[in-house]
């Protein structure tokens, strides 16, 4: 595990332990993406939810970063997170659990830019 991924893991532990921990909107998206990228070396490619889901989630987060995200983007992100529950091992299960906790505690951050009204 690299030093960077340890730092990101600590950040996620903090989020998990403290639901009130908030980051500004762009930081949250960037940190989630940074976390997903840090997991690439752990992903073996044997199952779809983890192998394909993580890179798809990163592409969806890019839409937030470049300002093209819509409510469909958020819905797809949520589906991919739920799909990770079907991962074959703890790598995918942990990624899904971590992102699920972050979404639960910071849903408004991802919803605000895409809500219609």
What is the nearest approach in angstroms of ligand SF4 to the Cβ of residue 87?
4
Does 92 bind ligand SF4 (CB under 6 A)? Our answer is yes
Q: Convert residues 27-56 into a mask of x (bound to ligand SF4 by CB under 6 A) and - (unbound).
A: ---------------xxxxxx--xx-----
By the rule CB under 6 A, 97 interacts with ligand SF4? no
Q: Which of 88, 100, 103, 105 is the binder for ligand SF4 (CB under 6 A)? A: 88
- CA separation, residue 7 to residues 10, 11, 82, 110, 114 (Å): 5, 6, 25, 23, 29
Q: What are phi and psi of 115, to 5 degrees?
A: -70, 150
The binding site for ligand SF4 (CB under 6 A) comprises 42-47, 50-51, 87-89, 91-92
């Amino acid at each position: 595990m690299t030093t960077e991924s340890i730092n990101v893991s600590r950040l996620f532990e903090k989020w998990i332990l403290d639901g009130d921990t908030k980051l500004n909107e762009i930081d949250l998206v960037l940190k989630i993406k940074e976390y997903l990228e840090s997991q690439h070396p752990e992903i073996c490619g044997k199952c779809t939810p983890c192998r394909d889901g993580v890179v798809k989630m990163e592409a969806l987060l890019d839409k937030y970063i470049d300002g093209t995200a819509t409510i469909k983007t958020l819905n797809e992100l949520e589906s991919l997170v739920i799909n990770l529950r079907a991962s074959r091992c703890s790598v995918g299960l942990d990624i899904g659990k971590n992102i699920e906790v972050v979404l639960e505690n910071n849903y408004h951050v991802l919803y605000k830019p895409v809500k219609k009204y």
